Amino acid sequence: MNRRLHWIPNMITLGNLSMGFVSILIASEATGNGPQSYILSGFFILLAAICDGLDGMVARALDATSELGADLDSLADLTAFGIAPGFLFYNMVLSEYKIDVFGKEDLFPIGMLIAAIFPACAAYRLARFNVAHDPSSFTGLPSPIAGITIGFLPIFLGKDHTLPHWLGIPLFVLIAFLMVSNIRYGKPQVAIRSKLSPLRAGLMLSAALIALFFVGFARWPWLVYGLICLYIFSGILTFLIHILQELRVKLD
């Protein structure tokens, strides 16, 4: 390990944490400027995801991986992909859900309890990952994907659209529980690192640009969200197929 350079990936990791913190601050100032603030808050969660992807790459390239960096990465991920999306969704949707207690109106905000599910699941998932993890796959939905799924909602919807609560709240809870599930998800970055060549990188970039051209650059959020949903449902589908195969073996 190159100890003299370990501060470089750690600074990128702190950038991840900082982007999540800024996302929270922006979402907290959404009064009177809701949609625009929520969209900007979501963009900072995306920036945090970019930092999260870069810090590991830089650490491996510089041979500067460390236990400190791994623990710091978990703390940053909890902030950016657990607390920030939970706070954003609370301000967007859940803040209006309150219940009366002892006849006093709006005394207990039940929406806070629902919002707290997301950072709690993210914290548990990250702690479980630190204790034991499979190098070839993730157990449970990765917290950056979960955070982006929620953070990308205001970007996907745009400033002129609102999220139906009957759809948004179940989605929020589902994504949270997927993080702590035992569903296996692949590690695309492992396959990319092992098989990527300059030619393949060029082909992938060309394919992405062609897809953007056909979808329309103004509709790039549809393409991004489509890829996110495809990844999420790929794990669920694989899990269901595995259960059906086990049932068939038992019945036979």
Residue matched to tokens 């590690």 = 187
DSSP string for residues in 75-144:
HHHHIIIIIHHHHHHHHHTGGG--EEETTEEEEE-HHHHHHHHHHHHHHHHHHHHHH---TTEEES--HH
**Spatial contact of 64 and 6, defined as CB atoms under 8 Å apart:** yes
The answer to whether 61 and 6 are in contact (CB under 8 A) is no
Q: Check pLDDT > 90 for residue 5.
A: no
CATH topology of domain 3-195: Four Helix Bundle (Hemerythrin (Met), subunit A) (1.20.120)
Place of tokens 């623990």: 71
The amino acid that residue 121 corresponds to is C
Q: What confidence tier does 1 reach under pLDDT thresholds 50, 70, 90? A: low
Predicted structure pTM score = 0.85
Q: To which H or E segment does residue 20 belong? A: helix 7-28
pLDDT of residue 126: 93
Ranges 4-8, 22-26, 113-117: which has the least confidence = 4-8
Predicted confidence at residue 141, as pLDDT, reads 93
Residue 80 pLDDT exceeds 80: yes
Domain residue spans of the chain: 3-195, 197-252
Per residue in 155-190, pLDDT (tens digit) is 888 876 678 888 999 999 999 999 999 998 887 655
pLDDT at residue 153 greater than cutoff 70? yes
d(CA 119, CA 126): 10
